[in-house]
Amino acid sequence: MALHSKQVTAVLSPPVEVYPVDADGVELVISAGDEIYLGSSDVSASTGFRLVKGDCISLSLGPNERLYCMTTKGSITVYVLATKNG
């Protein structure tokens, strides 16, 4: 397993992919500089999982699953730590 870190910038539109997932899947730890919403490619403030500044979430994504983020507060840095299987 390899450990990777990445920063992405969440914006209002379009939602941004948090981390590319290949056929092996990935374990993610995500935090953000301010309020963001996580979900599918059409995530919005009304449909997404809300993550606020200071919170952290750990997720396991299966092969070829995708996770996106967006914010209603301009542009927010999203911090990602990933362990890829394989």
CATH (domain of 80) = 2.60.120.770
**Beta-sheet strand order (sheet of 36-39):** 16-17, 68-70, 36-39, 49-51
User: Could you report the per-residue pLDDT of 16-66, keeping only the tens digit for each?
Assistant: 999 988 778 899 999 999 999 999 999 999 999 999 999 999 999 998 899
pLDDT interval class at 1 (50, 70, 90): low
**CA dist list (Å): 59 to 4, 12, 39:** 15, 22, 12
Quote the CA–CA distance of 54 and 57 in Å, as a whole number: 10
What residues does 57 pair with on adjacent strands?
30
**What is the domain extent for residue 33?**
2-84
Task: Name the pTM for this structure.
Answer: 0.91
Q: How many domains does the chain have?
A: 1
